[in-house]
Amino acid sequence: MSLVANPPRANAWSVPLRFALRELRGGLHGFYVLVFCIALGVMAIAGVGSFAESLAGGLAREGRTILGGDVSFSLIHREANADERAFLDKSGRVSTAATMRAMARTADQRSALVEIKAVDSVYPLYGHVALDPALPLPDAMTERNGVFGAVVDVALLTRLDLKVGDRIDIGKAPIEIRAVLRSEPDKLAGGIGFGPRLLMSIDALRATDLLQPGSLVRWMYRVQLDQNDASDRPVKALIDAAEKEFPDAGWEIRSRDNASPQLERNIERFTQFLTLVGLTALLVGGVGVANAVRAHLERRRDTIATMKSLGATGGRVFVIYLVQVMVIAAIGTAIGLVIGAALPFAIAAAFGQILPLPIDPALQPTQLALAALFGLLTALAFALWPLGRAHDIPVSALFRDAVSGLRGWPRKSYFIAAAAVTIVLAGLSILLAYDKRIATIFVGSAAVTFVMLYLIAMAIMWIAAKLPRARSTALRLAVANIHRPGALTPSVVLSLGLGVAVLVIVVQIDGNLRRQFQEALPDKSPAFFFVDIQNNDATRFDDFIRKEAPDAKVDRVPMLRGRITAANGTKAEDLKPTAQAAWALQSDRGITYATSIPAGSRVVEGEWWPADYAGPPLLSMEKRIADGLGLKVGDTLTVNVLGRNITARIANLRVVDWQSLGINFVLVYSPNTFRGAPHTHIATLTFAKDTTAQQDAVILRDVAAAFPGVTTVRVKDALEAVGSVVNNLVLGIRGASLITLIAAALVLAGALAASHRNRVYDAIILKTLGATRGKLIAAYGLEYTLLGLATGLFGVAAGSLAAWLVVTRVMNLSFVWLPIPALISALVALAVTIIFGLAGTFTALGQKPASVLRNL
């Protein structure tokens, strides 16, 4: 028959498959946890990957619309000169836009910060602007009777209690609100705004008199190329020509394929985070796979014994049950793939109209194949060990082994196979990650966590075995259950420990993010930032503020904007910054000059320059950014300011206390560097004690009336804007981590269910010997309590350490351990363990003795 030791090669896989499928005719009893765990992890990876690809497809499809053109040239502080503009005009159709922040004032002197976008008559080159009431945008912005029009976000109407037809003052110009702005096609390219949008014409912006030398305004020139050539050749040719003809222009160039690089980077980072969450769920589920396989082999001992007695080899038995496990894993994988593939379509259907992101839902074969590979490899890695241990168990042991179960190490070949699959799984996780450093940390942390959890389980069992014999029967039974052969301890510790660790990571990151933007603010943080203070108004502004708030402190420093173009002669695009320093190269940065060390800074390397220094330009740089760019004292950095490349030698490195919310900069230059350059000032106002909303409103009103060109940013409003982003991030972390927590709960439930046979056996024997139901419940309750406490403590420690690494190394924030959330997490895990454990115990206690005793 086909179970002989050396079957024909043709039957090598067909026979095991036939036997595996015959056994599965009875259903998936005992494998539900395996199916759900694999499906959950695969769903997360497939769903995240498919959604990210759909989003990337939408961004690529709408690249022109998001960017506002095929190529965009951006300048800070200044407009393009005549030669630059002539070059752009001959390259294609050009649309000009300018963005800046300003104060909108009503007739009764109420004011609010607005994000101005001034555009020309050909805007937008792609897409359309939606207005309410519907009318052509040029008509809404045109000048009528000496008053320009504008369209505004509905939030401005609400904030200042306005309606369409009302007038506001921007700078020195009256502006009539002609319509409500419902949507703008290039909004995604703008980033976070601290105020509502106000869309006006460039002529209206000039009339406001806000365009002063050094004003913080960004000019953008969007070029529409020949539409008959859809390839990337004309785009690349234009960018190459611009860089060759104007090497010192200092403009930031983006193409339609790179419309919103910051958004794309954020999507890639968050995709990686969610993918790692899915992998964590799979790894947690892998414990469920191992438990399910071991329990299934326990239930099939008689069948295995029969097959071996008929001549089946250990290898043949291994193949039969490996095929069975992989078929079941394939079912779970298929379920996860279907749900994951449907996720982009579901999101587009449910939220497509309200999400500000262009989603292009489609089936993503590569992402689905990758998710399936991860799911099947995880199932294989965790199934090989228990299947390998079953290989060498003799028939006699299978017949008489009613309690101890499968124990011991598998053959070397199975151990090597399991290790090889695990290495492949880890390698794929790192190789396909956006940030390989973080992926490597994740893989290493996961390996260390599994090893430590296993060692913790062994330590708990060893300690329990060495404890003196307790007088209490319940306690004695509980301790014995912890260390006996076939004990639940390893399974419970693995599943519960991972669950607690993930829960603690979530609550610690959540709490620290909230602390950063709420509790960790200094006692005397600034109440207001004032931007675009003109040079000739600086002294008058100081006097005015001191008169308005005599008890408050005013700090004012000069400010320009510049873009890093080279370091030690190497172009910025050729540098290899760390992830923590890459943002410094991505756009223009605020810069200043000073005679003394700025408040909130501390020089840690090099020397500060003398107050009367008059030599070549010197630079003081923030140390973490310098380290991330590979720079040290004595190196040079080139920054383009106002169309000129300024190269300065790094004289010293500073550590900056950013949490003080004071004025500080990554780049601080010696005063002679920008002598004669047009620039503005930025100032902060810090009150001696907390102010009321009414007092803040008075400051806003008076400054807006006296200095129409100065932009006032209320710190509380800015923090609320950033806080809303943080809240959405925390919400995403919570939702994603819920997948892992569900997987951990499933594994724990599966581990307890897998021990049901042993629990029934124990309960019957003990009840026969006189144990009461109450004593048994007390014993099992103590067992789960002891296991939960020991595992919970480890989970709190491991989760806190992981959260510290994420907050300090990935998010670059300070970390404070929050004991109360961690304690609550441990108590929740303890309660779940006791509830799940006792729920299974009650069913075991209700079994009739006869059916068990007759089979002993």
Handedness of CA 160, 162, 167, 173 (dihedral sign): positive
- Per-residue confidence (pLDDT) for residue 401, from 0 to 100: 47
Residue 314 lies in a domain: yes
Residues 802 and 741: their CA atoms lie apart, in Å, by 16
Higher per-residue confidence, 246 vs 790 = 246
Residues 387 and 320: their CA atoms lie apart, in Å, by 10
| Domain shared by 188 and 307, yes or no | no
Q: Are residues 35 and 164 in the same domain?
A: no
Mean local confidence (pLDDT), 405-428: 79
Same domain flag for 53 and 164: no
Strand 680-686 and strand 636-641: the pairing is unpaired
User: Residue 1: pLDDT band by 50, 70, 90 thresholds?
Assistant: very low
Question: What's residue 690's pLDDT?
Answer: 72
Nearest to 293 by CA among 686, 31, 61, 566: 31
**d(C-alpha 490, C-alpha 748), whole Å:** 11
* Residues 326 and 388 both lie in one domain: yes
Q: In angstroms, rounded to a whole number, what is the distance separating the alpha carbons of residues 680 and 558?
A: 6
Q: Looking at 668, 694, 722, which one is the last position of a domain?
A: 722
pTM: 0.68
Give Rg (Cα) of the chain: 34
pLDDT tier at 525, thresholds 50, 70, 90 = low
Tokens of 554: 């005013």
Identify the DSSP state of 549: -
Pairing of strands 667-669, 589-593: parallel
- Whether 402 shows a pLDDT value over 60: the answer reads no
Written as six digits, the tokens of 416 are: 């090597």
Last residue of a domain, one of 405, 434, 463: 434
Q: Does 275 lie in the same domain as 424?
A: yes
Cα separations (Å) of 689 from 34, 525, 526, 685, 806?
60, 10, 11, 12, 35
Structure tokens at 31: 């494998």
Task: Assess if residue 545 is contained within a domain.
Answer: yes
Full residue range of the structural domain in which residue 374 is found: 1-60+264-434
Q: Is residue 225 part of a domain?
A: yes
Instruction: Specify which residues 223 forms β-bridges with.
Output: 71, 94
Residue 693, φ and ψ in degrees, nearest 5: -60, -35
More confident residue, 177 or 523: 177
pLDDT band at 4 (very low <50, low <70, confident <90, very high): very low
Task: Give dist(CA 285, CA 376) in Å, integer.
Answer: 12
Q: How far apart are CA 667 and CA 835, in angstroms?
A: 58
Tell me whether residue 325 is exposed, middle or buried, using C-beta atoms within 10 angstroms of its C-beta: 0 to 12, 13 to 18, 19 or more: buried
Compute the average pLDDT of residues 442-447.
79
490 in any annotated domain: no
Average pLDDT score, the chain: 80
* Range among 165-179, 210-224, 540-554, 734-748 with highest mean pLDDT value: 165-179
Q: Which of 259, 264, 263 is nearest to 69 (CA)?
A: 259
Mean pLDDT of the region 205-224: 90
Residue 116, strand partner residues: 100, 198
The first and second tokens of residue 612, run together, are: 């009367």
Q: Is residue 624 within 8 Å of 582, Cβ to Cβ? A: no
Judged by DSSP in three states, 120 sits in coil
- Per-residue confidence at 136, pLDDT binned at 50, 70, 90? very high
Give the end of a domain, one of 434, 469, 493: 434
* Among the listed residues 395, 333, 328, the one whose alpha carbon sits nearest the alpha carbon of residue 43: 333
Q: Note whether 303 and 225 are same-domain residues.
A: no
Count of beta carbons in the 10 Å neighbourhood of residue 110: 17
Please report the pLDDT score of residue 259 as a whole number: 58
What H or E segment, with its residue span, contains residue 759? helix 756-768
Please name the residue that has the structure tokens 């503009």.
Answer: 85
Q: Is 634 exposed, middle or buried (0-12, 13-18, 19+ CB in 10 A)?
A: exposed
Type of residue numbered 735: G
Q: What average pLDDT does the segment 648-661 reach?
A: 84
Domain count of the chain? 3
Is residue 88 domain-resident?
Answer: yes
Kindly list the distances between the CA atom of residue 386 and the CA atoms of 26, 298, 352, 558, 759, in Å, as whole numbers in the listed order.
22, 10, 46, 69, 21
DSSP E strands: which ranges in 136-232?
A: 143-144, 147-152, 167-170, 173-183, 197-201, 218-224
pLDDT in tens, 677-730: 888 898 888 887 777 777 778 888 888 888 888 888 877 766 666 666 666 666
Does residue 802 lie in a domain region?
Answer: no
What pLDDT, on a 0 to 100 scale, did the predictor assign at position 473? 77
pLDDT at 5: 47
Whether residues 201 and 315 share a domain: the answer is no
Higher pLDDT, 618 or 1: 618
The yes-or-no verdict on residue 222 having pLDDT over 80 is yes
Determine the 3-state secondary structure of 813 from DSSP: coil
Residue 581 lies in a domain: yes
Does 722 or 375 have the greater pLDDT score?
375
Instruction: Please indicate, yes or no, whether residues 288 and 247 belong to a single structural domain of this protein.
Output: no
Residue range 227-267, pLDDT digits in tens: 766 677 888 899 899 989 998 888 888 887 775 666 666 66
Ranges 33-47, 208-222, 750-764, 775-789: which has the least confidence: 750-764
Handedness of CA 321, 323, 329, 331 (dihedral sign): negative
Question: Is there a single domain that holds both residue 424 and residue 303?
Answer: yes
In angstroms, the CA 288 to CA 419 distance is 18
Greater model confidence, 310 or 596 = 596
306, 227: one domain: no
What average pLDDT does the segment 298-318 reach? 75
For the ranges 276-285, 360-369, 577-586, the one whose mean pLDDT is highest: 360-369
Q: How many C-beta neighbours within 10 Å does residue 719 have?
A: 16
Query: Residues 63-118: pLDDT tens digits?
Result: 788 888 889 999 988 899 999 999 999 999 999 999 999 999 998 888 888 999 99
Q: What stretch of H or E contains 370?
A: helix 365-391
Judged by phi (left if over 0) then psi (alpha if -120 to 50, else beta), residue 253 lies in beta
CA–CA dist 214, 643 (Å, integer): 12
Do residues 188 and 263 make contact, with C-beta atoms less than 8 angstroms apart? yes
- Alpha-carbon distances, residue 816 vs 248, 518, 729 (angstroms): 45, 13, 19
Residues 157, 120, 91: CA angle, nearest 5 degrees: 145
Same domain, 224 and 310: no
Residue 151 has pLDDT above 60, yes or no: yes
Structure tokens given for 203 = 């002529």
Predicted confidence at residue 725, as pLDDT, reads: 61
Any domain includes 648 = yes
* Pair 96, 25 in one domain: no
Q: Per-residue pLDDT tens for 446-485?
A: 788 888 888 888 888 898 888 888 778 778 888 887 887 7
